[in-house]
Amino acid sequence: MPANFGFNPADMTRFLPEILLAVFGTFLMVLDPILQKRASYAFGHLSILGLLAALGGSLAAYNNAGPAFGGMLVIDGYGTFFRVLTIAVGILTVLPSYRFLARQEAETSEYHALLLFSIAGQCLMVVANDLIMVFIGLEISSISSYIMAGYLRDDKRNNESALKYFLLGSFATGFFLYGVALIYGATGSVNLSTVRAHVLQQNAEPVLLAVAAALMFVGLAFKVSAAPFQIWAPDVYQGAPTPVSAFLSAGPKAAAFAVFLRIFYTAFEPIGARWEPLVWGAALLSMCIGNFAALLQTNVKRMLAYSSIAHAGYVLVAITARSGDGAAALMFYMASYALMNIGAFAAVTYLSGKGDRFVDVEDFKGLAKKQPMAAALFTIFLLSLIGVPLTGGFFAKFYIFRAALESHLVWLTVLGLLNSAVAAYYYLRILVMMYMHEPSEASETVEPLSTGLRLALVLPALGTLVLGIFPNWVLEFAGKSAAMIR
Amino acid sequence: MNLLTGVLFLPLAAFLVALVLPRNSGAGRTWALLSSTGIFAASLGLLAYFDRNLGGEQFGVDVPWIQSPDIHFAISVNGVSLWLILLSTFLTPICVLISWNYIKDRGKEFYAFLLLLEFGLIGVFLAQDLFLFYVFWEVCLVPMYFLIGIWGHDRRIYAAVKFFLYTMAGSVLMLAAIIYLYVRAHTFSYPAIVDMLGSGRLVFSSQEELLLFLAFFVAFAIKVPLFPLHTWLPDAHVEAPSAGSVMLASVMLKMGTYSILHYCLPLFPGAAHSCAPWIAVLAIIGIIYGALVSMVQPNMKKLVAYSSVSHLGFVVLGIFTFEQTGLDGAVYQMLNHGISTGALFVLVGLLYERRHSLEIKDYGGVATAAPWLSTVFLVTTLASIGLPLLNNFVGEFLVLQGTALANFTWTVWAAIGVILSACYMLWMYQRVFYGELGDEVKHHVPDLSPREWAAVVPLIVMMVWMGVYSQSFLPPVTRNTAIVLKQTNVNVSYRVQAPAAKSVEVAHAR
């Protein structure tokens, strides 16, 4: 595709968040030798500053919406929604990290720089309209997060986590890239709009196209930890530093889902009837495996990992719906999921103590007696994960299953809803521990909430409640921008 | 914003205030008593302004809440829900009174959850938008879960989790059905859907209707609870603190029966009619089975819990007679059960506070130690077994009369339940209150204190009033049930006429 690579100031505005994130990230790395440990909080402050700037940047970019760099990026409502979401996830990851890193005596700027780079990659992914751009974004995001998963390099589990994530992750990226190559072979282009046009005119070799779609599905299903490509998630989430697990379960996942939807709703939309059964199966399998395996977990981080697999299943239901409503439901779901999940992980960070010692379900015993505020906030997240009304999690599920029923996916809806009743059990177990038992060692010794952790719990809790009581605003935006994807 | 909105949101406001009260002081209970009494007074205002000569919904409020999908904050009150709301607001202060000294640990949270529960319960009875209804339905679940799980007895955690999961499993299917209704009707508004069904603008195939009916009905039947879905109830009742048991038995179970009456019948009349014989049989099994199991219980609370299964069987049976008297009786029986079983749980709770045991064998001779407590208990017992001049008699009579109109065999079987209820209640009364006075009972069971009198007297007054002069209560009920019945029958007859051509085809095929 002929592209005009001449300098265009509008392109720069549209690319502003990535530029800002990269600049701040690089600046942080340079700063490390200068500041060292003397002002370790400065790293955190600076990365929040960078993220806020990027937030402003993405809004500025949206003000000037349109394609950039010859159609390789397209800045639309959908992309901006996810840009803002991943940046917000970044902020909510930095907040609990203050306390976490201080506790581990591992405050470096490299942690924050990697986070910013990873988010830059995700921001790029979600606005990419070109498979190569998607791939570059995916790689930037993934490689940074591989390193973050192994950030505490003296910790055995951190190493295991990073290695597993890296090996399986590169495999999946390989699958994705192979799919991209085949698409190029079949259609002669990697631009999503052009590919779509070719598919519509049935210019492309159907077998090649189907194989390419399947390969890309495998790669992306891995990234969103959907079954049967979910095996890495529990080990990685359990082993990684807790704030990083929170980040992994929200940021990269949201970006990967955004890409998933964009590719399958644009380029492969014309062959929707063929991939629908594939996604249908993956959705059901993810929900069942995630929920039933979570029932058996005793480690909270591992349990949340399985729960995030199950939630990936719910989101795949939205993709299966193949409608504008489905896309809007996916956007809303990712927003409320990111908030409640990152909040839940922040609560785990709060309790876990030095060296992530207290991460068992049992360790939450009696937290409500010792720290009622923290327990109450965690309760909001758990109720939202269950899907109790007046929380974001409920509306998110509601919209997804409505979209599914509009598309006549009756069985998937019934099975999915039954699954969410099963899920209630393991979330309730934490509530039982917090409220209905005498305090454990962990709750006895836990320190009062620090400012960063307090914010990391209060902000997502407020967000969860707002999405649960006044979802209009977000929903309207999602509906409007979902209609523009095609 | 009218009186009804006020009555709905006052408990929520009281809950929020309770949250910021200082911990570990008496402030929680004082606030709860004051606010819940105030809410009761406000709901009496509702009664005063309710136009008894008018059928249908009153005090309607309809405010758009979410644009897409079109969800409204739509509430109104009718002749049936009016009484159920009054029942909730009436019992909440009583629950506060009986928990006054009993709840020592984390009192503030206890009363906060009680107020939140009141909010949810009122909401369920008021909602006119299916989505809003579901929201309130689930909102009730959370405070009750905590009430049982934190302040309950030994096996409280098991009971609380079982309660939550049972209800949740039922309600997710209802959610699926609600969404399906929306997809078909493009509205969540209950009156609009009933109207569309009545005028034939919305028609379900009989298979669709049956599945939708079952999705709703199972959720409600779990809540009622209808045999064989009742197994969560004895656990929840026995383990809950007294106040929790009272709210659970008196009001929460009515969520199920009210919803069957209000939703299942007018929305899916065809399926309701065709399932009626099956449901009636289950209800009768529940009546007799509940009574028989009550009879062998060594634990007082469990006995009362199983007696609830039996009593609620009458309510369900009355609803599925599709007779005016049957429906009236069912509604009246809901209220009666709320008052008399609520009172039984209150009194059993008072005994437990004194003797710290729920086992019948640990008692005996209480009548000597605490004569007034025994008298009050006796009146309640007699009310519960349906003695004329006390409330349950009226309800049971109407239900049996309605059943006789529909199917006389059912009446015979159901009447056995009435006899059995006399057996188990009187037998328990005899073992607990008469007989030899043990040392434990003698020293630890004082008579009623003024605070306890304050909790018990209103209940006794209501039992007598409802038994002697049911005219104070029944006319608005009748007006509303007549409408329900009319909607049900109109919708049925429409369906019978419209696909006439189809039935001819079927006849040919045979």
Instruction: Specify the amino acid at residue A237.
Output: Y
Q: Per mean pLDDT, which range of A202-211, A310-319, B181-190 is the poorest?
A: A202-211
Give backbone dihedrals phi and psi of B298, rounded to 5 degrees, phi first.
-85, -10
User: What type of residue is B169?
Assistant: A
Query: pLDDT band at B508, cuts 50/70/90?
Result: very low
Confidence band of B258 (pLDDT split at 50, 70, 90): very high
Choose among A355, A99, A92: nearest CA to A241: A355
Residue given tokens 């009730």 in the structure block: B140
So what's the pLDDT on residue B184? Answer: 86
pLDDT at B88: 92
CA angle B164, B89, B477 (to 5 degrees): 95
Whether chain A has a CB inside 8 Å of the CB on B9: the answer is no
ipTM rounded to 2 decimals:
0.85
Return the closest-CA partner of residue B385 out of B396, B376, B375: B396
Mean local confidence (pLDDT), A444-457 = 84
Half-sphere exposure (Cβ direction) of B248: Cα atoms closer than 13 Å = 38
> Which chain A residues are Cβ-neighbours of B169 within 8 angstroms?
418, 421
pLDDT digits (tens, 9 = 90+) for B332-344: 999 999 999 999 9
Alpha carbon distance A54, A84 (integer Å): 9
CA B501/CA B492 separation, integer angstroms: 16
Neighbouring C-beta atoms of residue A391, cutoff 10 Å:
25
Q: What's B425-474 look like in SS3?
A: HHHHHHHHHCCCCCHHHHHHCCCCCHHHHHHHHHHHHHHHHHHHCHHHCH
Q: What percent of chain A has pLDDT over 90?
A: 36
Distance CA A54, CA A48 (A): 10
Residue B500: per-residue pLDDT: 40
**Disruptive mutation site among B16, B68, B154 for chain A (greatest number of A CBs within 10 Å):** B68
For β-strands B71-77 and A66-68, DSSP reports them as unpaired
Residues A476, B68: C-beta atoms closer than 8 Å: yes
Q: What is the rounded CA–CA span in Å between residue B236 and residue B238?
A: 6
Round the average pLDDT of chain B to a whole number and report it.
85
> What is the reported pLDDT for B123?
92
- Substitution target in A371, A414, A470, A477 with the highest count of B β-carbons within 10 Å is A414
pLDDT tens for each residue of A182-227: 999 888 888 888 888 888 887 777 888 889 889 999 999 998 998 8
pLDDT tens column, A391-426: 988 989 998 998 898 888 888 888 888 888 888 889
Q: Which residue in chain A is spatially nearest to B64 when comparing CA positions? A: A472
Instruction: State the Cα–Cα distance between residues B76 and B81, nearest whole angstrom.
Output: 9
- A424 contact residues in B (CB cutoff 8 A): 164-165, 168
Q: Is the pLDDT of residue A336 over 90?
A: yes
Please judge whether B134 and A436 are an interchain contact, meaning their C-beta atoms are less than 8 angstroms apart. Answer: no
pLDDT score, position A36: 64
What pLDDT score was predicted for residue A486?
61
Cβ of A418 within 8 Å of Cβ of B169? The answer is yes
Q: How confident is the model at residue A285 (pLDDT cuts 50, 70, 90)?
A: very high
Candidate from A350-359, B174-183, B305-314 with smallest mean pLDDT: A350-359
Q: Note the pLDDT of residue A38.
A: 59
Which residues on A lie below 8 Å from B15 (Cβ)?
A: none
Kindly report the backbone phi and psi dihedral angles of residue A439, in degrees, each rounded to the nearest multiple of 5, phi listed first: -60, 140
Q: How confident is the model at residue A314 (pLDDT cuts 50, 70, 90)?
A: very high
Give yes or no for a contact between A172 and A218, defined as CB atoms under 8 angstroms apart: yes
What does the H/E/C string look like for B377-399? HHHHHHHHHCCCCCHHHHHHHHH
Least-confidence region, from B103-107, B128-132, B404-408: B103-107
From the candidates B15, B179, B180, B181, which should be mutated to test the interface with A, based on the most A CB atoms within 10 A? Answer: B179
Packing angle, helices B3-20 and B27-49, rounded to 10 = 180
pLDDT in tens, A110-160: 889 999 999 999 999 999 988 999 999 999 999 999 999 988 888 888 888
B182 closest CB neighbour out of A372, A402, A410: A402
Q: How confident is the model at residue A323 (pLDDT cuts 50, 70, 90)?
A: confident
What's the DSSP call for residue B299? Answer: B
Q: Which of A32-36, A106-110, A430-434 has the highest mean pLDDT?
A: A430-434
**Closest Cβ opposite residue B142 in set A388, A401, A406:** A388
pTM for this entry? 0.89
User: Does residue B506 surpass a pLDDT of 50?
Assistant: no
| pLDDT of residue A458 exceeding 60 | yes
Per-residue pLDDT at A357: 79
Cα A461 to Cα A94: distance, rounded to the nearest angstrom: 16
Of the pLDDT bands very low, low, confident and very high (cuts 50, 70, 90), residue A5 is low
pLDDT at A194: 87
Put simply, the answer to whether B168 touches A424 (Cβ < 8 Å) is yes
Model confidence band, residue B240 (pLDDT cutoffs 50, 70, 90): confident
